[in-house]
Amino acid sequence: MAAARSGTLEVPHFDVSADRVDAYQRDGVLLLKDAFGDWVPRLRRGLERNLAAPQAYRFPAESTRPGEPGRFFDSYCNWPLIPEYRDFVFHSAAASLAGQAMGSGRAQFFHEHVFMKEPGTQRATPWHQDLPYYCLSGEQSVSIYIALEAVEQALAVHYIRGSHRWNKLYYPKVWLDGGDFNVDDPGMSSIPDFFAGPDDYDIVSWALQPGDTVLFNFKTVHGTTDGINTRRRSAFSSRWLGDDIRYLDRPGETSPPFPDIGLQPGERMREDWFPVIWRRPA
């Protein structure tokens, strides 16, 4: 990975082939083996800060009930507080990868999100798309999901190939009980249990090693089974916005909530809150 001038910040260039970009745009999900192995120790240190004092950081969520085995923890929007996360956002090749994958002229950072399931956890990550949680509309998006621990295929996140092109949005889910929320959002419906069949959905998942990375679109349907995690599995996701992403005023609270964002529907996301980190070289 050579350092290259990005046009915005001096971020490293990610060498991704045109074939892989095409596959990402066609399928809405793409595996890149060992794409960010160098960052795993630093991101793990960041996650340890998050876990050592969850309440000191933003949006800590526990999605296992008292008495239920294991622990399913997530937390997000902590890049201003956790130096290892911030370092990744501003100095890794993620922005370059995101911009190219989205076919965008720029990569604007939205937020990071960490996930951790402790051994014994059986609680599934419900099937969902990320876009219905967000105050956003548009097609050019990518989450860069980096495994921080090894995970076997059956317990890894599963994705439905091509679901970003279904022209369909599903109500967001409460992870603790799998219930829908924001059900007043017009044009959405309750997401089916795709594991229950019919099996004509192209569901993919991969065994991951630390550093292995999955790219997926904010509209790509994803979730896990309720298989028992026999060892810790954790991951760091960074979320990126491309050229056509605009602010959308959704009915109900979004996640993350940005009540003071001060934008009108249709405007670009403000760059002082969501920095543009990469621009396509001229």
Ligand X SMILES: O=C(O)CCC(=O)C(=O)O
Q: Which stretches of the chain bind ligand X, using CB under 6 A? A: 113, 115, 125, 130, 143, 145, 157, 222, 224, 235, 237
Least distance in Å: CB of 233 to ligand X? 7
| CB-nearer residue toward ligand X: 158 or 250 | 158
> Smallest gap, in angstroms, from Cβ of residue 47 to ligand X?
12
Q: State in angstroms the smallest separation of the CB of 145 from ligand X.
A: 5
Amino acid letter for position 72: F
Q: Is the dihedral of CA 82, 123, 208, 202 positive or negative?
A: negative
Residue 27 vs 130, nearer CB to ligand X: 130
- Cβ count within 10 A of residue 182: 16
Q: Which phi and psi angles does 272 have, rounded to 5°? A: -75, -25
Give the nearer residue to ligand X in terms of CB position, either 36 or 279. 36
Residue owning tokens 């998942």: 205
Q: Could you give the C-alpha distances from 58 to 77, 166, 225, in angstroms and in order?
A: 6, 33, 27
Identity of the residue, 184 or 193, whose beta carbon is nearer to ligand X in the bound complex: 193
Shortest distance in whole angstroms from residue 4 CB to ligand X = 27
Q: Which is nearer to ligand X, 98 or 157 (CB)?
A: 157
State the minimum distance, in angstroms, from the CB of residue 183 to ligand X: 20
Q: Which residue is nearest to ligand X (CB)?
A: 125
How far apart are CB 282 and ligand X at their closest, in Å? Answer: 33
Name the residue nearer to ligand X (CB basis): 4 or 203.
203
